[in-house]
Amino acid sequence: MHVLIIDDNTLHLKMCRILLEKINHTVVTEESLDSLKKHTDDMPEPDIALVDFRLQPGVTGVDVLQFLKQNTKWTNTKYIALTADVGERSYLDGSGFDDVVSNLSQKACCRIY
């Protein structure tokens, strides 16, 4: 499975990469919307895109979702929002993501896949 993760927390990115690669998934990580914009043309369509809600100041996971939906021809990708903010969940529920996951841990990773 191809997994794309966009998160500004490098520790979290590293953990996800290690855990997912261990179970033979292909992982691409991006730390910001800007770097994602530079690389989307060369990216294969992921099966799942995990998008952190709080990115750099002024950029949210919803901006990432909109960018990907408008600028790629990805039709089968499932978009999952990640958040540690209790107040964001209800907002994210109606924002176009296929699912919202809070508190991503190893168990959550395994649940997703």
Partner 1 sequence: MSKAYEKLRDEINECFYQIVGIINEIIEHRTNTFSAMLEVGESIQKDSENFVGETEKVVGNISLNINTKIDSLNMEQMRSELQEATKTFLSITEDLELLSYNTICRTMALGEKGSTITHISKEIKKYSTTVKTLLDDITKEFSAVYEKFRYIAENIIKSDISGNSGMLAMDAMEELVISSDVSVLIENSQFHDIFSQELEIINDALNTNEFSDAYEAGMIFGVYEKALNKLDFIKMSLQEKIESIQSVMKDFIYTFNTDLQNIISKTNILREELLRVESISGTICKTIRNLQSSIDESQNVIHKATAGVNNLGKQSKTFKNLVVVTAIEVARINDEDLRSVVISMISTEKELQGLIEKLHFNISLWQKLQNDFMSTFKDAGIELKTICDSSIKSEREKMLRSTYDLEAQLTDFRSVFTGEKYMNYFDSNTRRLLELFSEFVDNTNEEFETFNNKLDDKILSDEMFTQGRNDSELRDILASEDEQSSIEFF
**Nearest CA among 101, 94, 82 for reference residue 13:** 82
19 sits near partner 1 (criterion: CB under 8 A): yes
CA distance 49 to 40: 12
106 sits near partner 1 (criterion: CB under 8 A): yes
111 sits near partner 1 (criterion: CB under 8 A): no
Both tokens of residue 94? 């109606």
The secondary structure of residue 96, as a DSSP letter, is T
By CB under 8 A, name the one of 2, 9, 28, 62 that touches partner 1. 9
Which residue ranges make up the site for partner 1 (CB under 8 A)? 9-12, 14-15, 18-19, 22, 54, 84-87, 89, 102-107
